[in-house]
Amino acid sequence: MSTAEPPPVVDAMSPDGSKTMRRDTRRALAGEPLPAALAEGDGEGDASLTGASLALMQKLKTRTAVIGVIGLGYVGLPACIGIVGAGMRCFGFDIDSSKIASLTAGRSYLRHIGLDELTEAGRRKDFVATDDFSRLTECDALLITVPTPLDGHQQPDLSFVVQTCRTVSEHLRPGMLVVLESTSYPGTTTEVMIPILEGSGLKAGSDFYAGFSPEREDPGNSEFPVGAIPKVVAGSGPVAGRLVEALYRATHATVVVASSPEVAEASKLLENIFRSVNIALVNELKLLFMKMNIDIWEVIEAARTKPFGFMPFYPGPGLGGHCIPIDPFYLSWKAREYGQPTRFIELAGEINRMMPGVVIAGAAHALNEHSRSVRGARILLLGLAYKPDIDDDRESPSYPVMRMLAEMGADVSFNDPFVSVVPPKREYPEFEGLCSSPVSADYDLLILMTAHSEYRSIEYGCLGVPIVDTRNVVPRDIPGVFRC
């Protein structure tokens, strides 16, 4: 266990504290040290803590608490790095033993995440990756970062959360803090997590403490390292609230305390619904402007020069990733319980789901311009990952596009500098094992699906192949590019 250092400075959101919050976030983003005077540890409010909660608070403040992270994916792995970086000991738990083996061998399975800090912490015995869940009892606080997908009927699938909570309840001990980080509908912490944990016989708020803190990880975005992104936190009850706040003060420059888990859960969904709706709006306008022969990209560039009241969103071939295509439907499902329609969410989903079909129409049009049909055409998709410069292909619109083209008789290949082979896909088993092909002139059509940096330096003019560009990456002086 490493010696605890003074905590970095952070401040919770207060009604008049927003200016300070932004200043400290800016400092963290700039890599500047934060002033120690604002550090937690003033003891304010600690009078409400007694016994186990006071002991845990002391451990959190002195960085001697042991933190367990359950689910070592895109969210959990950076969380572990943040915890060891804050000088605390960390256990990483996952049911996927291949991930545990990789971590133990110091090999990252997520290309954009380096393991130097964890490997170094592992040498000091400050980080342990394990699938032995009996070791949960060695932790003082647990973060749950497991998947929350939709099921086959587009309804929330909380099975990973439920299973994890059942496992935790078997190993829960008095004084523990358990924080759900997985995105879900408001009420999940209170209605799902806490009752399962209380199945242990321990009571939330007195025997153990529970909270929710949504993750705002933006994989591959080096501009916003995880610890510099303000972290919304909430406890179930005031004591849990104090403990959750103290926990995240160790790892994040700015901690924003919400009054309840429901507010914190809803804030995450608002953020993602905001994106989904705005992307749908530009996607719909793209369809109109294409018919009016107006370039949507140029329109957005012009509009974004407005210095207030406008935020640019960009059209694309469809939504991807584990968040935007999924999370909004957690709320629309929950809303049915209250008989309240969520028309923006449904409409945005409808429009965004149409976009792969728009790409197919664009491909047919581009081939037609060269007197070719889709059937028999050799087509290369540039990009399988759903966003630039990462290897995350979950929910990628490239898959429905590949399937539709293949069903129409095209000979479809893909290129992706970050995804060399298609991993097993429950929804797209036909593509499993397909390897990335080099970009060459050996195709009838290229479809640019992902704005990987590498694709900005391809000599498209030299290739002389018709191109459908869904991301506005191909230079404007290249002829024969169909943007859709």
Ligand X SMILES: NC(=O)c1ccc[n+]([C@@H]2O[C@H](COP(=O)([O-])OP(=O)(O)OC[C@H]3O[C@@H](n4cnc5c(N)ncnc54)[C@H](O)[C@@H]3O)[C@@H](O)[C@H]2O)c1
- Per CB under 6 A, residues contacting ligand X are 70-76, 93-96, 99, 145-148, 160, 163-164, 182-183, 215, 217, 219, 322-323
Angle between helices 398-407 and 343-368 (to 10 degrees): 50
Q: Who's near 51: CB < 8 A, 6+ residues apart?
A: 175
Task: Provide the minimum distance between the beta carbon of 276 and ligand X in the complex, in angstroms, as a whole number.
Answer: 13
If the CB atoms of residues 87 and 318 are measured against ligand X, the closer one turns out to be 318
Which one is catalytic: 80, 165, 323, 484? 323
Q: Who's near 175: CB < 8 A, 6+ residues apart?
A: 51, 52, 53, 55, 56, 140, 207, 208
Pair 124, 2: CB distance under 8 Å = yes
Task: Provide the minimum distance between the beta carbon of 434 and ligand X in the complex, in angstroms, as a whole number.
Answer: 21
If the CB atoms of residues 270 and 361 are measured against ligand X, the closer one turns out to be 270
Task: Provide the minimum distance between the beta carbon of 291 and ligand X in the complex, in angstroms, as a whole number.
Answer: 35
323 among known catalytic residues: yes
Task: Provide the minimum distance between the beta carbon of 254 and ligand X in the complex, in angstroms, as a whole number.
Answer: 17
Pair 359, 383: CB distance under 8 Å = no
* Nearest alpha carbon to residue 265 among 159, 161, 124: 161
If the CB atoms of residues 160 and 314 are measured against ligand X, the closer one turns out to be 160
Task: Provide the minimum distance between the beta carbon of 146 and ligand X in the complex, in angstroms, as a whole number.
Answer: 4
If the CB atoms of residues 323 and 359 are measured against ligand X, the closer one turns out to be 323
Question: Can you tell me the distance from the alpha carbon of 366 to that of 21, in angstroms, rounded to the nearest whole number?
Answer: 50
If the CB atoms of residues 272 and 472 are measured against ligand X, the closer one turns out to be 272
Pair 416, 436: CB distance under 8 Å = yes
If the CB atoms of residues 73 and 87 are measured against ligand X, the closer one turns out to be 73
DSSP class per residue in 267-329: HHHHHHHHHHHHHHHHHHHHHHHHHTT--HHHHHHHHTT-SSS-------S---SSSTTTHHH
Classify residue 275 by burial, with Cβ atoms within 10 Å: 0-12, 13-18, 19+: middle
Question: Can you tell me the distance from the alpha carbon of 449 to that of 471, in angstroms, rounded to the nearest whole number?
Answer: 7
Looking only at the bridges linking them, the beta strands covering 481-483 and 467-469 are parallel
Task: Provide the minimum distance between the beta carbon of 438 and ligand X in the complex, in angstroms, as a whole number.
Answer: 29
The terminus-to-terminus CA distance of the chain in angstroms comes to 55
Enzyme catalytic residues: 323
